[in-house]
Structure 1
Amino acid sequence: MNQSHQKEPWKRETNGGADATATTSLAVNDLSVQVATPDGPKLVVDRLSFDLPEGRTLCIAGESGSGKSMTALALMQLLPRPMARIAGGSAMLDGEDLLTLPESRMRQVRGRKIGMIFQEPMTSLNPVLSIGTQLKGAITAHGELAGRAAGARALELLDQVQIPEPRRRLEQYPHELSGGMRQRIVIAMALAQHSKILIADEPTTALDVTVQAQILALIRKLQVDHGIAVMMITHDMGVVAEMADQVLVMKHGRRVEHGSSAEVFDNPREDYTRKLLAAVPRLGEMTGTDAPKRAKGAEAAQAKAADEAPMVEVRDLTVRFDIRGGILQRPVSRVHAVEGISFTVGRGETLSLVGESGCGKSTTGKALLNLIPWQGDVKVNGRSTRGLGAKAMRPVLRDVQMIFQDPYASLDARMRVGDIVAEPLVIHGLAQGSELNERVAYLLERVGLSPDQMRRYPHEFSGGQRQRICIARALSLSPKLIVADESVAALDVSIQAQVLDLLQDIQDETGISYLFISHDMAVVEQISHRVAVMYMGRFVEMGSRRHIFENPQHSYTKKLIEAVPVADPHRPRRDFVAKAEDLPSPVHPLDYVPPQTRVRDLGGRHLVWEVEG
């Protein structure tokens, strides 16, 4: 496709129905980015051109590794040097070429003129500095606010991104917050200086659907109030449909399609774009069916599983964390992360846990592997894990593996990818020599990577590719249960579909069980046999996939489903702004007694929990 820079007027329908054009805020012409590889220099962004008008949103879509994030980093002059460099082109903003500005000038541009939301919330936050220190640093970077004014602005930003107890959050550190909370902090930092342009690199990947809807509504409000231009990089085509005025599709560093949101969704010109749209999971497409989308012989498998002992049995699981304070660091309050939940996961079954960030989903998964202290009773493959130490847990971990939420933090940056995938096999003495290499190559191929990439390090891969490495490692021991904590959240839609196919194929072949933790309701609908909805550490509803999505009974379940973005640009854009009280705190005094709940059994293992009184 012709890559020449075209000055096309950007038009969208206003409230009055007339076409309106917008002044160009950022003009990118023939941008090229080159990286060094063992085989020589390679262009990862190849003569890319586009305009970003004031008050408009350009969504850049494409598969993992297509050059989306490298484009954003090049515009901010944040490319990892000397591995990557700008090889040509221009990016004009207010009469200046961003690609040629000296670092001293770029420090003034970053934050004040262009804010950026990075893809990895944990790695973009300093682990040794408190949230307050980092947020106030972003506010005071250009000397416009200081002291109490900066503190007030920090609280205002946390309130804007719907973080509960903002004053307490300012004193916490990144590791004390959930993935979704960390992403909201990063968004708040990007908004700190009222930038003219906001570059959002997968800004809602780590967020549950309700907070995602709130953040998208917040970004739209900022556009209306301040005329901010947004360049949004995302693999979620529902978000593209919800946000985009224009869509730019990239493949192998090149622009393959560029047009209005309606044009791209209704009449895509390129096969590659049609492939992306076809891979989008759409909420409601499973209506009228009982089994997961890709399951083979699901009814027979479920009947067999019902006659066998469950793979996982959990009774009254409770996880609480003390918050210490004062000179003696005594407990002053307590986080009620998980509060007395019970469930089973059958053999060959997928049970999905859904709910908002901080509701206890990931904590539940970690408790199953004894990674955190817990109370209650947990049995894995008939064996109780209560009180087991690291050595005693080793046989259990042959049967249970976990795919963690943050793909970068869970990979050792000093190890090559081949060694990372091979490590579980080496620890358990299952393979060595050529057999080990063959097994690693096979695992990488199964998750869509090349065996030639075995000698690379994690930082040389995109976020989606790193998540695929994590999945390959989890599959290495052929476990009986995988706890998948947001295992496809970082993947673009086509690779996501491939990984979901892979997980389902493995389940059909081996009878593996999954505890699938996700905020993507459309994905959950496709892969689940049963779904459990969590809110503030408790279950509020549990039932078959069909019960939860076609006949939800609890108001919170209905709220989650209504918040899912739909891949339809013609659907009216929603204003979904939650009130502060919609996000209650799980922190309570030491003498707090949790309220009692009663369970309504609606039949067919469809349960709804209600607070008594």
Structure 2
Amino acid sequence: MRGGGSGRPSHNPESMDMNTASPLLQVRDLVTQVATPDGARTVVDRLSFDLKRGETLCIAGESGSGKSMTVLSLMQLLPKNLARVAGGSAIMNGRDILKLDEGQMRGVRGRHIGMIFQEPMTSLNPILTIGRQLAEAVGSRSGLSGAAMAQRCKELLDEVQISDAARRLLQYPHELSGGMRQRVMIAMALAQKPEILIADEPTTALDVTVQAQILALIRKLQAENGVSVILITHDMGVVAEMADHVMVMNKGKDVEHGPLREVFHHPKDDYTRKLLAAVPRLGEMTGTDRPKRAPAQARAEEEAEKAAPVLEVDDLVVRFDIKGGILQRPVRRVHAVEGVSFTVGRSETLSLVGESGCGKSTTGKALLNLVPWSGGIRIGGKSTRGLSRAAMRPVLRDIQMIFQDPYASLDPRMRVGDLVAEPLVIHGVASGSELKDRVEYLFRRVGLSAEQMRRYPHEFSGGQRQRICIARALSLSPKLIVADESVAALDVSIQAQVLDLLQDIQNETGISYLFISHDMAVVEQISHRVAVMYAGRFVEMGTRAQVFENPQHNYTRKLMDAVPIADADRERRLFLPNEGELPSPVKPLDYAPPLSVRREVGNGHVVWQEAKVA
């Protein structure tokens, strides 16, 4: 990609005197190879692009397209003995950084090129405080130590809008939320005021509200410091929010590049068009009564309305005691879910939406007795209150769960065919040839072949692993599936395929879903009804049309406003304020939750507001 850029002068006084119109970084014919049992395989294939000062280049594409391998090659962070740069050049400040030795590269990393990694929890050292890790990022060459170093670290946290920065310096990574940890990573990447900031999927695992804040923060810091940005993402909505130029990668190759509007309005490659078409767009369901792939006729829904609910939840409460002291007695209490009530009908999808920590996943786990709870839960009309593990087993045939991370929920030592067969064996549903035939049918049903049953989880892509999890959840023909962020980590095209599969199964079998998500655009496509959660409570609930076309609660509107839109002409949101984290669910033992006032908007559309104390 050549040309473009904002032409801002470099802010780094140590960089070489260069014409601001010339590229800050010139990559030519980059080739990266990885070792396989069958020999070297090319994962980055003759890639060339320019990055100008102050410009944002977005490298887009699905997982496995070579995006991360490209920047790891530039930073010389490839896993040794497994991958290598096999050719090409990367000229920055008159030097080919691909030819530098490790000692020279240590002078480039952080000082000239900073990097934000995808998962901050695995990138931060869990046994060091935030202050210690920031001090390491600032570096000994800064000449700072003691109180001066502590002040500089506090300033960095202030720059990335972390509240109570002095206290955060003394905390450990596990004590911070995902959004805060990502802000720490940004602070570390900018600690030495680099000329280039590389952000590798920096918002993939974040809620849409936190994602919007992080993206706005990167734009703000870029404008203030004149830094150039290479942003890696598979989300074309994020591309539209951030990019000056776009490079689309597929199978290690640059299949399309150019200015943002040119790529979005006149895509030349079929792969680019596929990526853009797969992006769920908030508002595209306006005026429709049913989910995107629901049958044209509403007969199934009319029959479902007459049937008894598959799931009934009354005043669900989930709390966890935190113990301390020598006797390990309860000292505080986590109020995870407070007074939640809802029903799910046959062939209905009820979506629970909200930010991380609001209680969505805990609600889903309570339905399967995976966490202690109080209140009322009835599945297929049968109460599960007080049931032992043995008594709960037949109930679990009617309710199954799809977890967020398919790789973590599949035993890596078992073949996937055995994993799908396991529930059938445990419940004594099938054996022998009948079991084999049933598993083969389930594999075909989710778009996989019978030949793949003998493979292990690591031999599949993320989308294929999620299909295996869906097959396992369907094995017992349940009445209800709890899908907990089941597409959150998938590329948009794979996400669309999995969502289509879930809806096709619902249309054919009449199964019901409790769909847990923080992505409002996805929720709009798949839902019949929507419940919005905040700090352990429902704040709004209604049909898809009611909640999305006439939102009543401020928090609902905030979630929808934060969704990135894949529209190159849309005015970008500037410098969103950091509105802070959700209220902490950890309370004193004598804490009494405030009452919520229920208000009927009309025809099942309900809003809850916290009661005001006189």
Q: TM-score range by the shorter chain?
A: 0.7 to 0.9
Q: Tell me the residue number matched to 1:591.
A: 590
Q: Secondary structure at the match of 2:350?
A: strand
Q: Tell me the residue number matched to 1:110.
A: 109
Greater mean alpha carbon deviation, residues 558-567 or residues 519-528: 558-567
User: Contact 1:112–1:142 (CA<8 Å) still a contact in 2?
Assistant: no
Distance 1:391 1:164 in 2: 48
Q: Tell me the residue number matched to 1:283.
A: 282
Greater mean alpha carbon deviation, residues 255-264 or residues 567-576: 567-576
Q: Tell me the residue number matched to 1:209.
A: 208
Deviations 1:417-442 (A, max 9, x none): 55555554554455667876776676
Q: What is the deviation of 1:349? A: 1.0
Q: Tell me the residue number matched to 1:373.
A: 372
Gap change, CA 1:421 and 1:183, over 3 Å in 2? farther
Distance 1:476 1:442 in 2: 10
User: Contact 2:463–2:498 (CA<8 Å) still a contact in 1?
Assistant: no
Deviations 1:80-132 (A, max 9, x none): 44343332222233344343433344444333433333334454455x53663
Q: What is the deviation of 1:558? A: 1.4
Gap change, CA 1:180 and 1:136, over 3 Å in 2? closer
Q: Secondary structure at the match of 1:320?
A: strand
TM-score (norm 1): 0.87
- Residue pairs, 1:507-586, within 5 angstroms: 507-580=506-579, 583-586=582-585
Q: Tell me the residue number matched to 2:42.
A: 43
User: Contact 2:7–2:21 (CA<8 Å) still a contact in 1?
Assistant: no
Deviations 1:133-152 (A, max 9, x none): 77446536656455555655
Q: What is the deviation of 1:49? A: 1.2
Letter in structure 1 aligned against 2:483: A
User: Contact 1:248–1:259 (CA<8 Å) still a contact in 2?
Assistant: yes
User: Contact 2:26–2:91 (CA<8 Å) still a contact in 1?
Assistant: yes
What CA RMSD, in Å, does the superposition of the two structures yield over aligned residues? 3.4
User: Contact 2:397–2:476 (CA<8 Å) still a contact in 1?
Assistant: yes
Structure number, greater radius of gyration:
2
Distance 1:399 1:257 in 2: 48
Matched, 1:405 2:404: yes
Q: What is the deviation of 1:11? A: 3.9
Matched, 1:231 2:230: yes
Greater mean alpha carbon deviation, residues 178-187 or residues 513-522: 178-187
Q: What is the deviation of 1:194? A: 3.8
Gap change, CA 1:535 and 1:219, over 3 Å in 2? same
TM-score (norm 2): 0.87
Distance 2:299 2:270 in 1: 38
Q: Secondary structure at the match of 2:337?
A: strand
Gap change, CA 1:364 and 1:233, over 3 Å in 2? same
Letter in structure 1 aligned against 2:130: G
Q: Tell me the residue number matched to 1:496.
A: 495
Letter in structure 2 aligned against 1:510: T
Q: What is the deviation of 1:514? A: 1.4
Distance 2:448 2:94 in 1: 42
Q: What is the deviation of 1:503? A: 0.8
Letter in structure 2 aligned against 1:265: F
Q: Tell me the residue number matched to 2:31.
A: 32
Greater mean alpha carbon deviation, residues 166-175 or residues 572-581: 166-175
Greater mean alpha carbon deviation, residues 576-585 or residues 371-380: 576-585
Letter in structure 1 aligned against 2:137: I
Distance 1:254 1:477 in 2: 43
Q: What is the deviation of 1:210? A: 1.6
User: Contact 1:180–1:357 (CA<8 Å) still a contact in 2?
Assistant: no
Q: What is the deviation of 1:78? A: 3.0
Distance 2:484 2:544 in 1: 19
Distance 1:435 1:502 in 2: 25
Distance 2:245 2:537 in 1: 41
Matched, 1:9 2:8: no
Q: Tell me the residue number matched to 2:12.
A: none
Letter in structure 1 aligned against 2:574: D
User: Contact 2:131–2:150 (CA<8 Å) still a contact in 1?
Assistant: no
Q: Tell me the residue number matched to 2:394.
A: 395
Distance 1:433 1:84 in 2: 44
Q: What is the deviation of 1:319? A: 2.2
Distance 1:573 1:25 in 2: 25
Gap change, CA 1:268 and 1:168, over 3 Å in 2? same
Distance 1:521 1:561 in 2: 6
Distance 1:188 1:386 in 2: 48
Q: Tell me the residue number matched to 1:359.
A: 358
Q: What is the deviation of 1:460? A: 6.3
Distance 1:142 1:134 in 2: 12
Letter in structure 2 aligned against 1:292: P
Gap change, CA 1:41 and 1:539, over 3 Å in 2? same
Structure 2 gaps, min length 5: 9-18
Q: What is the deviation of 1:308? A: 2.1
Greater mean alpha carbon deviation, residues 315-324 or residues 211-220: 315-324
Matched, 1:219 2:218: yes
Gap change, CA 1:240 and 1:300, over 3 Å in 2? same
Letter in structure 2 aligned against 1:520: D
Distance 1:152 1:434 in 2: 69
